[in-house]
């Protein structure tokens, strides 16, 4: 229900008796300023998460696909901005009224009332647009990591256009836009479901329709690891995401102009932080126990898992509960990664385990600490949004597949998308290791149909 700001008062949605009083008071200029400023600053932090996803993914793909993933991550953010202006915002927020969709149309700022001294809107319209837009970008970023290393760049960007312009806003209208799920009481504070699992479902259908990277799954269920090329970059990405998440959740208070909001913001940020701590430490402990080594990428994923888990309800738990909610997320991610591998769903960076699995967990965990929500309603939200995204994104992936094509050629996959699509190497000065047998840049040929290879004599390597 959050994110649908009721303009009469900045505090209408905060269920605290003391505020009954405030609800009738007109919004003051100071409140208007602070609410707006919060949207802008917190929105800037959320934008920063695009860089975090970019660095995380650049660190976790092999060096031959690094430039491509960089380009994807920055250009999807560009697409999110343009599409949210062209149709996304209005589809999500304009006249949803308990229904299933907003209206089509360019978005335009309108702050005439505020400039005339009526601050009842609560915040400037651009600041709200900006804050909502950056969330849309985050959903896209989830997809890019999962389908990396084999998808054609323009095909991916076309998918992003539809995701940002149509899929994300329609489902978003159901809860945050004041649609049917919001009426029902579905609670997703900052987007465990609306952002993370939406990205996750779209990534899941994409990964299935694309298929696994060549050589990832060997004979007899063998999983061939394809280690990421730059661990400190992945760590930096995680730090950036962690930082940005303070804005993601903290900004979702949607107000700063009264004491209750700022108290809530403090709680949200403290809980967000401790959920990340819990997720990371739980994942590290789990990996140490299971594998006798601490896989650093699992630790990173654990932190993100904690963050995703708390996102549906960061305002209600105590700090201890936040650690637990995050911690369960951290455990889930360690179990989910090999699970998806067993299903031969090839998720390059662990996006499904982090964003989809923990997005669901986080949403379902809300009723533990929030008496106003029910498992039933939360489940309906998770399922309906899941179903919608699975169907709609599958259609889009398939249309792309049978028109401009989705997957690069096997040769291009072997050479790497950087050379094939960008004509550039990410690290041209460095001698990179191509020793197949070292498991790194491995191309395990048992997965490659010999015929295919013989038919394309030009690009061979």
Partner 1 sequence: MMKKIECIVKPFKLDDVKNAITELGISGMTVSEVRGFGRQKGHTELYRGAEYQVDFLPKIKIDLVVSEEQVPAIIAAVQKEACTGRIGDGKIFVSDVEQSIRIRTGENGIEAL
Q: Which residue has the tokens 């896209």?
A: 140
Is residue 98 at the binding interface for partner 1, with CB under 8 A as the rule?
A: no
**DSSP one-letter code for 65:** G
Between residue 266 and residue 295, which ones bind its own copies under the rule CB under 8 A? 266-267, 269-270, 273-274, 276-278, 280-281, 284, 288, 291, 293-295
> What is the rounded distance in angstroms from the CA atom of residue 56 to the CA atom of residue 74?
13
> What is the rounded distance in angstroms from the CA atom of residue 457 to the CA atom of residue 460?
6
Alpha-carbon separation of residue 138 from 172, 192, 227 (angstroms)? 13, 11, 24
Between residue 149 and residue 178, which ones bind its own copies under the rule CB under 8 A? 153-154
Residue placing its CB nearer to partner 1 in the complex, 126 or 224: 224
> What is the rounded distance in angstroms from the CA atom of residue 274 to the CA atom of residue 423?
43
Minimum separation from the CB atom of position 227 to partner 1 (A)? 5
Is residue 298 at the binding interface for partner 1, with CB under 8 A as the rule?
A: yes
> What is the rounded distance in angstroms from the CA atom of residue 305 to the CA atom of residue 355?
7
The mark string for 347-376 relative to partner 1 (x by CB under 8 A, - otherwise) is ---x--------------------------
Is residue 235 at the binding interface for partner 1, with CB under 8 A as the rule?
A: no
Between residue 172 and residue 211, which ones bind partner 1 under the rule CB under 8 A? none
Question: Which alpha helices (H) appear in 65-124, and where do they start and end?
Answer: 66-83, 89-93, 112-115
Alpha-carbon separation of residue 259 from 8, 36, 41, 263 (angstroms)? 17, 16, 18, 6
CB atoms within 10 A of CB 219: 8
Between residue 426 and residue 445, which ones bind partner 1 under the rule CB under 8 A? 431, 433-439, 441-445
Residue placing its CB nearer to partner 1 in the complex, 24 or 429: 429
Minimum separation from the CB atom of position 43 to its own copies (A)? 8
Among 202, 385, 426, 444, binds its own copies (CB under 8 A): 426
Q: Under a CB-based contact definition with an 8 Å cutoff, are residues 11 and 255 in contact?
A: yes
Is residue 428 at the binding interface for its own copies, with CB under 8 A as the rule?
A: yes
What lies within 8 Å, CB to CB, of 6 at 6+ separation is 12, 13
The mark string for 209-228 relative to partner 1 (x by CB under 8 A, - otherwise) is --------------xxxxxx
Among 99, 185, 211, 227, binds its own copies (CB under 8 A): 227
Residue 14 — left, alpha, or beta (φ > 0 → left; ψ -120 to 50 → alpha)? beta
Residue placing its CB nearer to its own copies in the complex, 348 or 364: 348
Residue placing its CB nearer to partner 1 in the complex, 120 or 434: 434
| Stretch in the footprint of partner 1 (CB under 8 A) among 158-166, 173-181, 363-371, 422-430 | 422-430
Between residue 320 and residue 349, which ones bind partner 1 under the rule CB under 8 A? 334, 337-338, 341
Is residue 399 at the binding interface for its own copies, with CB under 8 A as the rule?
A: no
- Residue 280 binding target from partner 1, its own copies, none, CB below 5 to 8 Å by type: its own copies
> What is the rounded distance in angstroms from the CA atom of residue 355 to the CA atom of residue 434?
32
Which tokens hold the place of 259?
């004491």
Is residue 284 at the binding interface for partner 1, with CB under 8 A as the rule?
A: no
Is residue 452 at the binding interface for partner 1, with CB under 8 A as the rule?
A: no
Q: Which residue has the tokens 């533990």?
A: 368
> What is the rounded distance in angstroms from the CA atom of residue 16 to the CA atom of residue 179?
24
> What is the rounded distance in angstroms from the CA atom of residue 389 to the CA atom of residue 409?
27
Give which of 361, 368, 371 is closest to 307, Cα–Cα.
361
> What is the rounded distance in angstroms from the CA atom of residue 114 to the CA atom of residue 124?
8
Between residue 61 and residue 90, which ones bind its own copies under the rule CB under 8 A? 62-64, 66-68, 70-71, 73-75, 77-79, 81-82, 85
Give which of 431, 443, 271, 436 is closest to 365, Cα–Cα.
271
Residue placing its CB nearer to partner 1 in the complex, 25 or 424: 424
Is residue 437 at the binding interface for its own copies, with CB under 8 A as the rule?
A: no
Between residue 90 and residue 119, which ones bind its own copies under the rule CB under 8 A? 106-109, 111, 114-117, 119
Q: Under rule CB under 8 A, how many of the chain's residues touch its own copies?
A: 128
Is residue 115 at the binding interface for partner 1, with CB under 8 A as the rule?
A: no
How open is the CA angle 241-245-248, to the nearest 5 degrees?
130
- Residue ranges binding partner 1 (CB under 8 A): 223-228, 291, 293, 295, 297-298, 334, 337-338, 341, 350, 414, 419, 422-425, 431, 433-439, 441-445, 453-454, 457, 460-461
């Amino acid at each position: 229900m959050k994110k649908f700001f009721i303009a009469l008062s900045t505090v209408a949605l905060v269920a605290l008796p003391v505020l009954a009083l405030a609800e009738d008071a007109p919004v003051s200029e100071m409140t208007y300023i602070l609410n707006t400023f919060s949207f802008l600053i917190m929105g800037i932090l959320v934008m920063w998460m695009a860089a975090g996803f970019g660095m995380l993914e650049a660190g976790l793909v092999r060096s031959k696909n690094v430039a491509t993933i960089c380009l994807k991550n920055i250009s999807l953010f560009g697409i999110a901005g343009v599409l949210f202006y062209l149709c996304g915002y209005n589809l999500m927020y304009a006249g949803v009224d308990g229904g299933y969709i907003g209206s089509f149309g360019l978005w335009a700022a309108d702050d005439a009332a505020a400039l005339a001294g009526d601050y009842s809107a609560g915040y400037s319209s651009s600041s709200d647009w900006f804050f909502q837009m950056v969330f849309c970008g985050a959903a896209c970023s989830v997809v890019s990591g999962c389908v990396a290393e084999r998808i054609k760049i323009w095909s991916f960007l076309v998918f992003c256009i539809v995701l940002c312009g149509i899929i994300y806003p329609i489902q978003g209208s159901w809860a945050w836009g004041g649609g049917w799920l919001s009426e029902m009481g579905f609670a997703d504070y900052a987007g465990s479901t609306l952002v993370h699992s939406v990205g996750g479902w779209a990534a899941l259908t994409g990964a299935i329709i694309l298929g696994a990277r060549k050589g990832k799954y060997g004979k007899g269920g063998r999983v061939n690891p394809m280690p990421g090329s730059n661990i400190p970059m992945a760590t930096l990405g995680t730090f950036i995401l962690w930082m940005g998440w303070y804005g993601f959740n903290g900004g979702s208070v949607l107000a700063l102009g009264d004491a209750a909001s700022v108290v809530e913001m403090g709680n949200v940020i403290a809980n967000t932080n401790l959920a990340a701590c819990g997720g990371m430490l739980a994942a590290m402990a789990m990996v140490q126990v299971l594998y006798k080594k601490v896989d650093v990428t699992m630790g990173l994923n654990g932190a993100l898992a904690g963050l995703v888990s708390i996102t549906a309800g960061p305002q209600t738990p105590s700090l201890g509960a936040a650690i637990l909610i995050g911690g369960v997320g951290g455990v889930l991610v360690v179990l989910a990664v090999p699970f998806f591998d067993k299903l031969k769903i090839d998720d390059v960076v662990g996006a499904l385990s982090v964003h989809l699995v923990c997005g669901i967990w986080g949403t379902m965990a809300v009723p533990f600490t929030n008496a106003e929500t029910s498992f039933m309603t939360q489940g309906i939200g998770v399922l309906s949004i899941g179903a919608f995204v699975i169907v709609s994104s599958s259609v889009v992936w398939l249309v792309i597949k049978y028109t401009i094509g989705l997957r690069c050629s096997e040769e291009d996959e072997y050479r790497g998308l950087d050379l094939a699509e960008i004509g550039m190497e990410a690290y041209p000065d460095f001698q990179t290791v191509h020793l197949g047998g070292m498991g790194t840049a491995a191309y395990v040929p048992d997965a490659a149909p010999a015929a295919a290879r013989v038919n394309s004599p030009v690009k061979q390597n």
